[in-house]
């Protein structure tokens, strides 16, 4: 998509986002290539971790990219110090 021409049409692709209420005790984190964004919500002595993931898999030609993203998700889940991890996205 070309954003320099003013109004755009079509479906943008890539990237992730999370919206949350400011009243929550929460902080965000993301991986280096911004395909994964996380939100840690602290509740008393527990925390809930939400991962919003962009995983494009449309054909065999990007299979390696798909596997690479799954590996990043696995590594991130291992690094999170909580059993409460929710993975969402497309």
Identify the helix (H) or strand (E) that includes residue 10. none
Sketch the domain layout of the chain as residue ranges. 14-89
| Cα(14)–Cα(62) distance, integer angstroms | 14
**pLDDT at 56 (0 to 100):** 73
Give the pLDDT mean for 20-30.
89
* CA atoms in the 13 A half-sphere facing the CB of 13: 7
Share above pLDDT 90 across residues of the chain, in percent, rounded to a whole number:
23
Q: What is the pTM of this model?
A: 0.74
């Amino acid at each position: 998509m070309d954003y320099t021409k003013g109004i755009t049409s079509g479906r943008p692709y890539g990237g992730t986002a999370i919206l949350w209420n400011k009243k929550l005790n929460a902080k965000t984190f993301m991986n280096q290539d911004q395909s994964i964004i996380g939100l840690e919500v602290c509740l008393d002595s527990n925390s809930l971790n939400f991962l919003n993931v962009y995983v494009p898999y449309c054909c065999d030609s990007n299979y390696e990219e798909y596997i690479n993203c799954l590996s990043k998700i696995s590594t991130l889940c291992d690094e999170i110090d909580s059993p409460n991890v929710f993975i969402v996205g497309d």
